[in-house]
A and B are shown apart, each in its own frame.
Chain A
Amino acid sequence: MTLEYIRKWFNRLPESERDLPIVILNGIAYTPRMILHEVERGSKIGEELQTKVEAGSFGTTEEEAYNLALIRLKEILKRYPPNKPVIAVLSNPPVTLTPEQIIEQVEKRTPLGKRFVEAELQQVKYLLSMR
């Protein structure tokens, strides 16, 4: 595969996803922009990152995947004012969640927190599968 492949993949990604970590390599999280940069530089890491992108693989262990999802969710939720509800739940009793409370759910690995992690990893796979 070529540099052109990574450029094309990067350009297809929405702006809002280009600076969110998407691949973990040797314990470091890389964003699409960082991956493009490394591949353009022709570095060894760039080569490894490119292989991961082409294989649609974002991490090696379950813990790495969880950490990737957590970092991404923190970045996404940082865009909202703190301590104000951003989502509500159709539960009885009704519940609303602020960005901090969503992150707490994820960190405590509650059933709802796990749902967020699952959705996040689905989205990562979806973005990596774009050709």
Chain B
Amino acid sequence: MIFLLNRFVFILPTSDWLDYGSCVMEDVISKYTDIGDKYVVLKGKEATPSNIKEAIDHINPSMIAGIGHGSPCAYTVQNKEFFLMYPDPENKCEELLNMDLVRGRVWFLNSCEVGKELGKVMVEVYGAKAFLGSKEPFLFPVFDKPCSSDDIKAVFEAEYVALKYLLRGFTVGEAHRARLRAYDELIKDYTFGIRSLSPNAPLVVRLLRIDRDIAVVYGDTKAIVATPEPTEKSSLAQHPAEMGLGIVAIAVGCLAVLSEALSKLRKKRK
């Protein structure tokens, strides 16, 4: 099976406290998907198993990223509906669900315990390219409204650094390492930096420590899901001919974006 880079499906359920993470992931997506050729964001009641399946079938994404409640053998979406599952009666998973969709793709799932067994099975048995998740319960603060403060967002901000890196064309391994570094930096900031002044700092720093220690990655750590951002060496300005091609490419890209925006506008008007 062949996949194209820069195609993503984002799963953002909001039921059962999931809005605490969804709002942070939505913010990440809004800043980084400008490089995406095609992507689908399924938020709230749209984040159903049938819609996700349809989106995957439709755009054939290189990466699926999402949040949801999970267990060692299952990943659920809006209203705790099962989306991925493999049979494991010990953990109350009875059936095989959508595991045919995982092959060849990178999966970033912010969900409890999915990194314990499900992620491994996705990679080792069902051929997922790579998997990033958590092997134990992922904890987050809920003493305030979703996305209402840095303290409420902190654990998700650290976790989703992996997603930012993947969207910028870094490898899975680099994204995982960046996620761990982000946790370390926030732990430092919440202990000794400006964020230590927050009355919630002691609790937040403990949650950061727990969530950092349970982050796992499986599969091909050299895999990428997006076109790498131009570095200084590969900059378009290096060679006049490349610069010309670059300008044409940008112009074509702009036209494509403009035409998509216009068609969306037309659809809305209808």
Contact = CB atoms under 8 A, between A and B. Distances in A.
Nearest to A12: B192
Nearest to B205: A123
Contacts of A76: 202-203, 206
A92 B80 contact: yes
B203 A126 contact: no
B206 A90 contact: no
Interface residues of B, number: 42
Nearest to B190: A14
Interface in B155-209: 187, 191-192, 196-197, 199, 201-203, 205-207, 209
A87 B141 contact: yes
Contacts of A85: 142-143
Interface residues of A, number: 35
A119 B191 CA distance: 13
Interface in A74-88: 76-77, 79-80, 84-88
Interface stretch (B34-42, B97-105, B106-114, B231-239): B106-114
Interface string A14-37: 111100100000000000000000
Given A86-B142, A112-B137, A17 B202 contact: yes
A20 B140 CA distance: 23
B interface SS class = mixed
Given A90-B68, A94-B16, A14 B191 contact: yes
A14 B112 contact: no
Given A90-B111, A119-B209, A14 B192 contact: yes
Interface string B56-81: 00000000000111110010100010
A8 interface: no
Contacts of B21: 90
A41 interface: no
Contact of B138 (A73, A89, A93): A89
Interface in B1-54: 16-18, 20-21
A127 interface: yes
B137 A90 contact: yes
Nearest to A92: B69
A85 B202 CA distance: 16
Interface string A85-125: 11111111110100000000000000110011011101100
B147 interface: no
B55 interface: no
Contacts of A20: 202
Contacts of A112: 137
B223 interface: no
Nearest to B21: A90
Given A76-B206, A80-B143, A90 B192 contact: no
Give 3 closest A-B pairs by Cβ, nearest first: A14-B196, A119-B209, A92-B69
15 contacts: A14-B196, A14-B201, A16-B199, A17-B191, A79-B199, A79-B203, A86-B141, A86-B203, A90-B70, A91-B69, A94-B69, A116-B206, A118-B209, A123-B191, A123-B206
Interface of B: 16-18, 20-21, 67-71, 74, 76, 80, 110-113, 134, 136-143, 187, 191-192, 196-197, 199, 201-203, 205-207, 209-210, 213-214
Given A86-B141, A122-B209, 18 more contacts: A14-B191, A20-B202, A73-B206, A76-B206, A80-B143, A86-B143, A86-B203, A90-B70, A90-B137, A92-B74, A93-B80, A96-B17, A111-B136, A115-B136, A116-B206, A119-B209, A119-B210, A127-B191
Interface of A: 12, 14-17, 20, 73, 76-77, 79-80, 84-94, 96, 111-112, 115-116, 118-120, 122-123, 126-127, 130
